[in-house]
Structure 1
């Protein structure tokens, strides 16, 4: 199969090139001068379009298995593909969680049956409870392991427990103490892998909620109950643990200026601490709550304009390495509840690309930088490069073709998600994907899936000699 993409502007590590692209049997084989004549099975005219490497969403909770009434891998990867994402990295906290090499292999086989995008898998870290499985999960190809630092888990299902009062103490698996967490850092470092964590200090949160003196009723209450210092505190501890052990530590869904300051300090001091942020933190603030409503509830919470400004600065100057959606659906009914009982999380993988492209159109970043944080650097960090994340000969022909002038309004009823409740419902976006190419085949045209399901598992390579791996 030979696909010839002509007349586009190619977003490459060498810059934005006016050229054509030849893809053969799923791989990019040549970047050609515009107008070059080649034999091809299909020609795609990308005149007036930007051609990005396919977006990689490293932070997806598909709820499958165990909570598949909220979402499943079929729906999440279909939505991702329509939004320009060609590879998703699936988080481990389904039921049962991916906390061993045995479950890792079970999950890989399961998701291979329903994947529309290529995919990688995270492992779950539980402290001493599965320390012996960290190495085997990396050997099985895990992109990283995640620690829900400070969160209790249900003892039987290993699902997250947000409100301890909702469960009997005997049903809870309490978060590992910091001594165990330090051992976890050392174990991950021994295998050359990545350890990531949800960073909010549980004691700061508990005291802040108690000091509030009443249930969370307003968005101001939510911010008071989950202050930015909770995020910064955990990142500070992680930076010391990373320095002591040599572990690569990654902050997922970074939400605050205060947290980013800690990341910057660690990086300046040569400590292998890196960060991801998400579209919700880059495009929404507390001022959007009257329009968006309770569906905006995520953890850590969306904060103030100064936090958003700081995060954009971090994206553009390199302090923030990667972007992820944190796609974490709940039912329509659950997201309609008030603050106190509504679970945190939002639908996001389908809008991941379009929301970021709208930010590009608004001048928040450049096409080159967007390609780095949404594709290339993500692939390098998670051990998928150079197979994924870049337009260059020899890499997989994963591409998203973007019309910078396209205008589309996000509507819940048009989303593919099983529970279509988006924080961006009603937002008009400028710039968006008009085609997605997965391994050399055009699989989406104008939001319509035209190819067959062909997603497959991608094994991470965290070996010490892996080329171009980012340390922080």
Structure 2
């Protein structure tokens, strides 16, 4: 099938371009002058719209397998598609966790049967427990390996254990100490991969909780128990290890001005460090806790307006190179347990693109910058460029069409998640994602899928992407 996307404004690495896009056999075949009309089986009129490279969400927890009462890969990828995202990168901490090649291959096959969009897979780094496995994950096509700095893991399932102070020690894999973390940096550097981390120092968290002197019951308590210094400290240690080893180090879901400052200074000194943030940090602040209650709870926590402005500044000057949703659903009743007991995380994959499009229309970032942080720079970071993240001949024919003059309303009722409760319920946004093209076929129109599932696994190729 040949699809011609006509009359839109293309958002490319070089800037905006008035041209049509001819798609054939799943790839972009050519960029065509407006006065030409090559033969095509279907025409898609993009008049008045921006045509972006298909958006990528690099940070998705689908809870599948292991916690499919909270979410499934079917639901998360359907939500991604309906929100305008054409590729998701699935985090490794389902149960069992993706800590070895055998589990990676099983997960690839299982998710391939459920995917509404293309997908890549992360691997998990445990420290000494799987140090010899992570090069195999890289060779199998993992986009990166992630470790959860400061969290223990259940020894049997490798599930995260946030508070492990009272758990039987023999039931846990304790967080690696810094010497063991340095070994991970050396190992990942040896094969040119990406090592990413949830950055919160466990010692600072433990002492901060002790100094609070009482159980967490308010959002102010939560912020006191998880200070920005915990994030900044782990980032600073990781930056030193990256400088020492040459390992590419990526900070996921960066939330604070202090963390941003550390990343900026390290990058200025030539350290191979990159960072991601999320829409909840860019659109919500601590003042929203009174309205949202524990639904706002994520780790690291949403902080102040000053932290939010620092993150926006870092997007503007390139310190932050990627934006992901950190989609991590829970049951409603779990989220209502209070600020102390509620699990951290919430929906995000379906609202990632609409929220960022709204920010673009409001002037927070340009269309080209939006294309970078939601597509091209993300693809390059994770070894997917130029197959993904580019509107150019030879790239996958994945496109996200946006009407800047349109509008979008977020509602629980229209979400496609298994447990459709969102922190942005009732928000009216500027701009509208109208269409998603996946592999040269229209896969979503006006927030609903067109046709059946057609998502495929995509393997990382870091050597080509960096080249």
Q: TM-score, normalization: structure 2? A: 0.98
Q: Provide the residue aligned with 1:371 in structure 2.
A: 371
Q: 1:249-292 CA deviation, whole Å, 9 max, x = no partner? A: 00000000100111011111111011000111111111122222
Displacement after TM superposition at 1:407 (Å): 1.9
Q: Distance in 2 between matches of 1:27 and 1:462?
A: 20
Partner Cα distance (1:55, 1:114) in 2: 19
Q: Match for residue 229 of structure 2?
A: 229
- Shift of residue 361, structure 1, vs aligned partner: 1.3
Within the alignment, does 1:137 sit opposite 2:137 as a pair? yes
- Please give the secondary structure, in 2, of the residue aligned with 1:128: coil
Deviation per CA, 1:19-49: give whole Å up to 9, x if none.
Answer: 2111111111111122421211100111111
* Alpha-carbon displacement from aligned partner over 1:5-25 (angstroms, at most 9, x marks no partner): 111111111211122111111
1:150 aligns with 2:150: yes
Matches within 5 A, 1:118-137: 118-137=118-137
Counterpart in the other structure of 1:26: 26
Q: In the alignment, which residue of structure 2 is the partner of 1:41? A: 41
What is residue 304 of structure 1 aligned with on the other side? 304
Superimposed CA distance per residue, residues 142-182 of structure 1 (whole angstroms, 9 cap, x where no aligned partner): 00000001101111111111122563333221101111111
C-alpha displacement of 1:212:
0.9
Between the aligned partners of 2:369 and 2:414, the Cα distance in structure 1 is: 29
Distance (Å, rounded) in 1 between the aligned partners of 2:342 and 2:466: 42
Shift of 1:421: 1.6
User: Within 5 A, what are the aligned runs for 1:83-94?
Assistant: 83-94=83-94
The equivalences for 1:245-324 within 5 A come to 245-324=245-324
Deviation at 1:304, TM superposition (A): 0.6
**Where in structure 1 are there 5+ consecutive unaligned residues?**
none
CA-to-aligned-CA distance 1:78-128 (integer Å, 9 cap, x gap): 000111111100000000000001111111111111011111000000000
Per-residue Cα deviation, 1:212-268 (whole angstroms, up to 9, x for no partner): 111111111111111101000001110111111110000000000100111011111
Tell me, which stretches of 5 or more residues in structure 2 are unaligned? none
Distance 1:467 1:283 in 2: 31
Counterpart-to-counterpart distance in 2, 1:24 and 1:173: 49
Partner of 2:348, secondary structure, is coil
Cα distance in structure 1, aligned partners of 2:47 and 2:429: 21
Q: Is the 8 A contact 2:354 2:408 kept in 1?
A: no
Do the aligned residues in 2 keep the contact of 1:404 with 1:431 (CA within 8 Å)?
yes
Assess if the C-alpha contact under 8 Å between 2:205 and 2:230 holds in 1.
yes
Give 3-state SS (helix, strand or coil) of 1:195's partner: strand
Of 326-335 and 25-34, deviating more is 25-34
State how far apart, in whole Å, the 1-side matches of 2:42 and 2:29 are.
15
Size of the alignment, in residue pairs? 467
Aligned to 2:55: 55
Partner in structure 2 of residue 327 of structure 1:
327
Please identify, of 107-116 and 287-296, the stretch whose mean Cα deviation from structure 2 is larger: 287-296
In the alignment, structure 1 residue 362 sits paired with structure 2 residue 359: no
Separation in 2, partners of 1:467, 1:123: 19
Of residues 170-179 and 322-331 in structure 1, the stretch that sits farther from structure 2 once superposed is 170-179
Match of 1:242 in 2: 242
The answer to whether the Cα contact below 8 Å between 1:353 and 1:432 also exists between their aligned partners in 2 is: no
Kept after mapping to 2: 8 A contact 1:57/1:325: yes
8 A contact 1:292–1:424 mirrored in 2: no
- Is contact 2:293–2:339 with CA below 8 Å preserved after alignment? no
